[in-house]
A = this chain, B = another copy of it.
Amino acid sequence: MPNLIECVPNFSEGRRAEVVDEIVRAVSQIDGVTLLDHSRDATHNRSVLTFAGAAEPVVRAATAAVGRALELIDMQKHQGAHPRIGAVDVIPFVPLGTTRLEECADLARRFGEQIAQRFELPVYLYGAAALRPERRRLADVRRGQYEALREELGVDPARDPDFGPSRLHPRGGAVAVGARKPLIAFNVNLATDDLALAKRIAHRIRESSGGLPAVQAMGVLLENPGEARRAQVSMNLVDWERTGIARVVREIRHLALEAGTEIDHCELIGLAPTAALLEVAADVLALRSFSADQALELRLARDR
């Protein structure tokens, strides 16, 4: 199997289904690319595509998606709840299988340079692809969002892009291109509607406030029609080999019990590395000398 790379571009359009369909189509037409997922969120006015393949077809698909998005999305008219700097807001490349993170960082830099030139688009490199340490965190790159960048780009040299012009693309704004490990989007729903508790638990477990390494967390209140209101700890596990699902769930269960409530159920959003889920099984069973190689399909994939 060639070195597999996943690409998870985020687009600033979550209301016009036909626009997202067009971008999906641009990706699907590329041979050698498997579209794994796509989702559209009207509140955030944002869409996410997930596709995978070898480096070359993945780059071609990402380029096609950028081209289509720049034609169809106009940032001057965009409003939505999610932070963003451009029509194609962020394009992470993620190593799968035996691919190394550094390969994805190299690929992100080459890809960033290409699209900057081809589309006259300011490109910021972030994550493992960052060329400046202050751009490793995506939140720092996106500070003030599209609106701040419109004011500061070309004026404040600290905001100069890594590639492309020091002015926004007229419709597309700017884009962050980066490399990161696979991210697990994982939510724990508590058996309570106590939002303050969910926020306290999130504060306790997230790395930025001294909690578990490689965990991002926030407390939110779910209000779905026909269902009980429920407090949720919503997380990104950005490096599951440092802090995995079993460990965050154990910690949240402990904090919930302390507060006199418990976990009602959990949710895995999108895809996760199989090994990260097997670890949960091995943990609960206290499996002795377990290896992910004992999972038949993983073993076969490795050897073929």
Contacts and interface: CB of A to CB of B under 8 A. Distances in A.
Nearest to A189: B288
Interface residues of A, number: 43
A212 interface: no
A218 interface: no
A85 B287 CA distance: 34
Interface stretch (A63-71, A76-84, A167-175, A259-267): A259-267
Nearest to A188: B285
Contacts of A256: none
Contact of A280 (B268, B285, B297): B285
Given A34-B303, A268-B290, A303-B34, A297 B285 contact: no
Contacts of A271: 294-296, 299
Interface in A263-278: 263-268, 270-274, 277-278
Interface string A284-304: 111111100011111111011
Interface string A170-207: 00000000000010000001000000000000000000
A273 B295 CA distance: 6
A6 B296 CA distance: 10
Contacts of A72: none
Contacts of A298: 274, 297
B245 A285 contact: yes
A300 B96 contact: yes
A155 interface: no
A231 to B, nearest CB: 15
Given A281-B280, A300-B4, A301-B301, A288 B267 contact: yes
Nearest to A270: B294
A184 to B, nearest CB: 10
B284 A265 contact: no
Contacts of A265: 285-288
A34 B281 CA distance: 26
Interface string A139-168: 000000000000000000000000000000
Interface string A1-44: 00010100000000000000000000000000010100000000
A1 to B, nearest CB: 9
Interface of A: 4, 6, 34, 36, 52, 96-97, 182, 189, 245, 249, 263-268, 270-274, 277-278, 280-281, 284-290, 294-301, 303-304
